[in-house]
Structures are given as structure tokens and as C-alpha cells.
Amino acid sequence: MFARPFKLALALFVVGILASCSWMNRPITRPLVYNVREATVIANANVPLRIVEGVDRRVSAAIRATRPPAGAERVVVVVRIDKLGYGFNARRRLQSATFTVTAASVETGDPVATGNFTVNSPTDDPVMAEESLAEEIASRVRFAFSLASPTIRKVILPPRTTSTRLTTDPAPRASVAPQASPTAPVAAAPAEVPAPAVAEVPAVPDLGAVPVAPASAMKSNVEEGASGSVALGKKAAPCDPAKDPTCEQPKP
């Protein structure tokens, strides 16, 4: 009678334990926000040192380039490279790496986040395969803990030293340009402006006093009330207009 409830309770207990184990060991699928202070990369002896150094260098540069949010929990990150191998099918010539990332609290030392990851190298070039795999591991760690990608520094090339001078030639001497002493400014003399030319006015000859006729010698004209007539044709015989009304002579 009591066996059935007991079996049911035992089954629920086992399912709960399995679920908790799978929950604790699940991979980090979304970015976590922590104040990452330092990162350490560890691996077995069969892992090339170039991969370990490449991951450590890239993750440390990302930590320095990241500005952590205020109030975030301070942690240290440990990256453990578990296994190196090759992919399957189309990726059988590409290297792959399985690694574990653990974040531990600085205050208590307890792990606060753990994740397992598997990445593949994007190239099979033997020269770039290890560096490419290290970049894939570091990029996955940057995404998991919200770390910023470091900026690429500008490479300053050294000056060119190629020369056509023979080794037996004497060493060139540095040419020193003569320093010109500053001279005091000299004020320029004002230019003389020529006076404008004056045209000569010819002298007016003295004509003397203009004779003026007396008023009694001046005769009246038409504008002063005089009248006159103009006769055309043959001159008429003298007549007296006072006596002859047909006379055309002007009246006195």
C-alpha cells in the first residue's frame, strides 16, 4: 500500500538530481556581466604553447579594454583547454578545441559561472592554424563575459636605412643652415606727389571804355509802340491821309 507513493517520491528525487546536474554543467549561452579582473589559461602538455599564449594574450587585452559596470561582482576567469582534435566530415582537416571556462568570485573564491565550449579553426593553413584557433577560443570567452574587443594599434615602421653610399666613403656631416638674424624694419620715405599743372590763362587785351550813346540820340523801335507798314509793288503817289481816306501813306 505504501510502496507506490514511496516509488513515486524516489523517482521524483532522482529526476531532480539529474536536472540539477544538467543545470550546473550547462554551457554559457548568453553573455554574463561581471567585473573580470584577471584571466588564466591552463592546458596539458600536448597543447601547443603558441595556442596557450595566444589565448592568454587576447583575453588579457580584452579585459584591459573593457569598462566594467558599476556594482558588478568581481571575478577571475580560468580557461582550461581540455582536448585538441579535428572536426568531422567537411571539417575533418580543421583543428578543434574543447575547453572549460570557470569564473570564481574574488571575495569568496567560489565558482559563480561555468561553461563548456567547442570551437573549430577556420583554416587548415599550418602557419595560421594555431593562431586562428586561439582567436576562436578568445572570442568565445569575450562573448561569454561581455568583454570588449581590443582595438588594433597602429604599427609605426622604423625609418628606412637604405643608402647608396659606399662603406669607404666618409661619413656625411650634418649640414647646418645659417641662421638669419632679424633686421630692424626700415620705414619707407613718403613719395613726393607732384603738384597739379595749372593752365595759363591768356591775357585779355584792354579795349578801353565802350562808348555809350546818349539817351537823346537813341530812337524808338517797334517794341516801344511805333507802328509801320510794308508796301509791296509800285510806290504810290504822295498823298495826305488826313484829307484822302484812300491814301496808303502812314499817318504822322
CATH number at residue 122: 3.40.50.10610
pLDDT in tens, 222-246: 555 556 666 666 666 677 777 777 7
Instruction: Look at 14-28, 84-98, 100-114, 122-136 and tell me which has the smallest mean pLDDT.
Output: 14-28
Dist. CA 67–CA 2, nearest whole Å: 60
pLDDT in tens, 101-136: 999 999 988 999 999 999 988 887 888 889 999 999
Domain of residue 104 covers: 22-144
Q: Would 225 be classed as within a structural domain?
A: no
Size of the chain in residues: 252
Helices 49-65 & 129-144 angle (0-180, nearest 10): 40
Q: What's the total number of domains in the chain?
A: 1
| pLDDT for position 24 | 47
Q: Would 214 be classed as within a structural domain?
A: no
Q: Would 75 be classed as within a structural domain?
A: yes
Q: Would 100 be classed as within a structural domain?
A: yes
Q: Would 86 be classed as within a structural domain?
A: yes
Q: Would 76 be classed as within a structural domain?
A: yes
Is residue 165 within 8 Å of residue 148, measured between CB atoms?
A: no
Q: Would 59 be classed as within a structural domain?
A: yes
Dist. CA 139–CA 45, nearest whole Å: 23
Q: What is the pTM of this model?
A: 0.50
Q: Would 124 be classed as within a structural domain?
A: yes
Looking at residues 213-228, what average pLDDT do you find? Answer: 58
Is residue 115 within 8 Å of residue 143, measured between CB atoms?
A: no
- C-alpha to C-alpha distances, 212 to 91, 207, 219, 224, nearest whole angstrom: 139, 14, 14, 20
